[in-house]
Structure 1
Amino acid sequence: MRILYSLVWWLILPFALFRLWWRGRKEPGYRMHIAERLGFYPPPSIAAGCLWVHAVSVGETRAAEPLIQALLAAWPEKDILLTCMTPTGRATGKELFGNHPKIMQAYLPYDTGFMMHRLITHFHPRTCILMETEIWPNLIAQCKAHHIPVALVNARLSERSLKKGKRLPALIQEAADGISCVAAQTETDARRLRQFGSRHVTVAGSVKFDATPPEDAVKKGHQLRTAIGNRPVLMCASTRDGEETLILDALAALKPSTTLLLMVPRHPQRFNEVANMLSARKLSYVRRSGLTADFEPISPDIQVLLGDSMGEMFTYYAASDVAFIGGSLAPLGGQNLIEACALGIPVIIGPHTFNFEAITEDAVAESAAIRIHSAPELMQQAKQLLEHPENCHRMGEKAQQFARRQRGATERTLDILRPFLDDRQTGPAAARKE
């Protein structure tokens, strides 16, 4: 089955490369480092025996940040290879780690045995740590062939993904057998991962709760809030295609409120598209990219602030009173609500949260979040919170308490990884033992 899977990759490779070029029209980063996606890399700036962490994009890279910092602290003699699959993920890694001398970033190649073999023989990693849902059959097979333990951490698996995986049981079972240990986010995730065929599954929680809001980002958020003035701010975070239309159509429910809508599309290639939506509706707006570095005052006539920047999500949250988490009005599975909760921001979430099911349900149960089922209901709930600051403040405190109670997953994950990272436990002998 894996041979057939590999053959499919080689057949679609020209189309995959064309897709990179096509996406590069709007996001030039897709046309950079193309050779890395085929397994060809510049000379490594890190030593052999590095710890390889793979985080597919922005969310996973941010989630990996506390884990990577903990790995560097616990094993200071080790370097980190951080791979991703999107330009925004790579930019996030640059933002978080800068030019850290012990961290090298690269793209993960397409999942063929040849390309994965080239990556492994180029960097010679000691251990491979996959974040969240990154199960690549040839990557895992090549790691097994080179006696490299594979760990799946901060792991989550929705019911939808479980059903998809069961369509290719032989391929998925082989990949699951090659994973040495799994640190799942929740008991529900652990149960599904075991049904997936994973062994050695332990519940560790979500390392995203251990990410500390950067002080400079929070400070910038307070500066942005000063520029906005005393107006209430409703943030719509990580909105996806189709959701902005629903939100903007329902925006009239806030009138004649002075509320400022802070809209932050999830994907940068859609910034201009959303700006065109605002213009078509004759909504007065300003783009974040059009503001000065020290945030000049924003006119009270402005109805929408378009967050068209990368790496400023904590800044946007810190400037907001209430946050709606996108990807949940449309059936896209939702996004992570943890960053908003960590800053004490009341959260509103839509009906479609299957990617973060357990955490979302817990947040709703603890009154840290409110679930709505439509854009008009979103505006109604936001209006009620914004018109009653005491209720908004109380819910924000519950959100922050909820986030604090979830902390500690990074240390639990380290305990799970430790047998595979200590020198005396790794290498061919350890792999054979596993």
Structure 2
Amino acid sequence: MIKNVFIPNFFKFYNILWKAALPFLKRHPRLAPTFDRRINPAHLQPADIWIQAASAGEAYLAVSTINAFNTDRPVTIMVTTTTGQGMEILTKTLSPKKISPQINLCIGTFPFDSPKAMKKAVQQINPAIMVLLETELWPAHLYALKKNHTRVLIINGRLSKKSSRNYKLTKAFWGSFAPERILAISAEDAQKFSMIFPQTRVETMDNIKFDRMTVQSTADKRSALAEIVPREMPLSIFASFRRQEETQIIEMIKILLKKGPNQIIALFPRHMHRISPFLKALNKNSLTVYKGSQISSVLTNPAIILWDKFGDLHQAYSRADVVFVGGSLVPLGGQNFMEPAVLGVPTIIGPHWQDFAWVGKEIFETGAVTQCRNWQHTAETMSRYLVKSENRQTRIDAVNHYISQKQGGAQTAADTIWASWLATHK
């Protein structure tokens, strides 16, 4: 039980903060529809195992983990999420046909971390096991779980450099709510967790995200971009780049056009609100650019396209001859470079990809992904792939082999959760 005398005083202050914040949160357009359920978790049902999947990414992890359960006795699992997107994924993707018939599944909204709401939620669910996917540490939640004698597991755990630094600064506080076990997605993440929770059993596991990866060998005919790019013309894609990279992207475009003027260049900014300012910057550099929404027929000449329609990037990858994935030229953590890589498309990233370190450096040995030193090196590498590229199927086979070796995280997670639950019923 928690003995730190600071804890009760902290929660008195924490409760005051929540009382002050709730009236503002009630008016928030994203929170308003589920506000009542967040402050009064009466909809939550008793369960043996409680899994919290914060948003969309964690919701997919929860789906993979629950599908991997193979139980030999009845068990009730409550899955909660914080966002509307997470709820949509859970309700639409968790199919009774894929879940063990022994599992009674409940889905709910994760409450606000106000001490009153969280205490009621934990008492109502009364779980033997609490599963936190990736990392979501809420003090009132963890405090209520400790008082309830619930075993807490962090599965698929990861910590960014910033989060790790902040947690270490408050190490004494978080140590009072230490989880029983942590399965981290890399040795580096495991070390970070061990520094915050030195008494906790910390191990590594394969990232569950690998279980969701599939390698495709054929182009997606639904691609809106493919419909306007002539088959005989090379296509270079700049994907998910950020505001801080725009100046470098413009210089890279100039290099690509100089080395290969007979090509289509498609630009997909990470954030749609950057379309207009980036278009102005391109025009100032004497680059003629068309918005994707302005093109209604197949292009007959080389062109630069600034894609201004949401949700088309993944489909566009399958038509590309080379892809640069942004967030990686400057220290922004990178973006998901595995999406084009699994399609066999030569994929280029810059030196910064910390948020995807879980993929592993060995991915570069497959030849499907190339890490470059800077924007100049990146532009030269893209140009080289346009001139000469290995067979796409060779890259697909290499990535497929790489992913298959990394899969199994969902089964590890399910087995660990199940073993922990059985340990409470000896």
Counterpart amino acid of residue 417 in structure 1: I
Q: 70-79 or 394-403, which moves further after superposition?
A: 70-79
Q: Give the direction of change, closer, same or farther, for the CA distance of 1:52–1:370 in structure 2 (3 Å limit).
A: same
CA shift, 1:10, in A, is: 4.0
Query: What is the rounded CA distance, in whole Å, between the counterparts of 2:203 and 2:346 in structure 1?
Result: 31
Q: Does residue 112 of structure 1 match 2:117?
A: no
User: What residue number does 1:258 align with?
Assistant: 263
TM-score of the pair, normalised by structure 1: 0.76
Contact 1:50–1:124 (CA<8 Å) still a contact in 2? yes
- C-alpha separation between the residues in 2 aligned to 1:77 and 1:161? 34
Give a deviation string over 1:362-388, Cα, whole Å, max 9, x none: 323444422224334333322222332
SS at match of 1:142: helix
Judging changes above 3 Å, is the alpha-carbon distance between structure 1 residues 112 and 336 closer, same or farther for their aligned structure 2 residues? farther
**Corresponding residue for 1:49?**
47
Cα displacement (A) at 1:96: 4.1
Which secondary structure does the structure 1 equivalent of 2:415 belong to?
helix
Give the Å deviation of 1:41.
4.3
* Aligned AA (2:51): V
Task: Check 1:74–1:150 CA distance in 2 against 1; reply closer, same or farther (3 A cut).
Answer: farther
Q: Is 1:171 matched up with 2:173?
A: yes
Offset of 1:284 from its aligned partner?
A: 0.7
The alignment of Structure 1 onto Structure 2 pairs a total of residues equal to: 402
Could you tell me which residue of structure 1 aligns to residue 290 of structure 2? Answer: 284
The answer on 1:374 being equivalent to 2:394 is no
- Residue range with higher mean Cα deviation, 4-13 or 50-59: 4-13
Amino acid at match of 1:286: G
Q: Distance in 1 between matches of 2:185 and 2:386?
A: 33
Q: SS where residue 357 of structure 2 aligns?
A: helix
Aligned equivalent of 2:151? 149
The answer to whether the Cα contact below 8 Å between 1:338 and 1:403 also exists between their aligned partners in 2 is no
- Give me the whole-angstrom Cα distance separating, in 1, the residues matched to 2:279 and 2:75: 51
Match for residue 100 of structure 2? none
Instruction: Give 1:208 deviation, angstroms.
Output: 0.5
- Mapped contact 1:262–1:306 kept (Cα < 8 A): yes
Q: CA deviation at 1:207?
A: 0.7
| Contact 2:55-2:81 at 8 Å conserved across structures | no
CA contact (8 A) 2:41 2:111 kept: no
Q: 1:226 to 1:81 in 2, by over 3 A?
A: same
Asked if 1:189 corresponds to 2:189, the answer is yes
8 Å CA contact retained: 1:386, 1:392: no
2: distance between equivalents of 1:119 and 1:383?
56
Cα deviation 1:61-106 (Å, max 9, x = unaligned) = 334432232248888853442313x455445546645999945242
Residue 204 of structure 1 corresponds to 205
TM-score (norm 2): 0.77
Counterparts of residues 90-101 of structure 1 (less than 5 Å): 90-93=87-90, 96-97=93-94
SS at match of 1:389: coil
Instruction: Tell me, yes or no, if the aligned pair for 1:30 and 1:87 is still in contact at 8 Å.
Output: no
CA distance in 2, matches of 1:399, 1:355: 20
- Unaligned 5+ segments in structure 2 are 1-5, 98-103, 284-288
**What amino acid does structure 2 have at the position aligned with 1:284?**
Y
Of 59, 68, 71, 1:70 maps to 68
| 1:374-426 deviation per Cα after TM superposition (whole angstroms, max 9, x unaligned) | 3343333222223323266644543333222211122222222221244xx34
Partners of 2:313 and 2:107 lie apart in 1 by 24
Name the Cα RMSD after superposition.
3.9
Q: 4+ runs of 1 displaced by more than 6 Å?
A: 72-76, 98-101
Conservation of the 8 A alpha-carbon contact between 1:322 and 1:345: yes
Change (3 A) 1:329 1:33: farther
CA contact (8 A) 1:329 1:374 kept: yes
* 1:377 to 1:18, Cα distance in 2 relative to 1, 3 A: farther
Q: Which has the larger radius of gyration?
A: 2
- Between the aligned residues of both structures, percent identity stands at 22
Given that 1:346 and 1:399 are in contact with CA atoms closer than 8 Å, whether structure 2 keeps it comes out as no
Deviation, 1:173, is 1.4
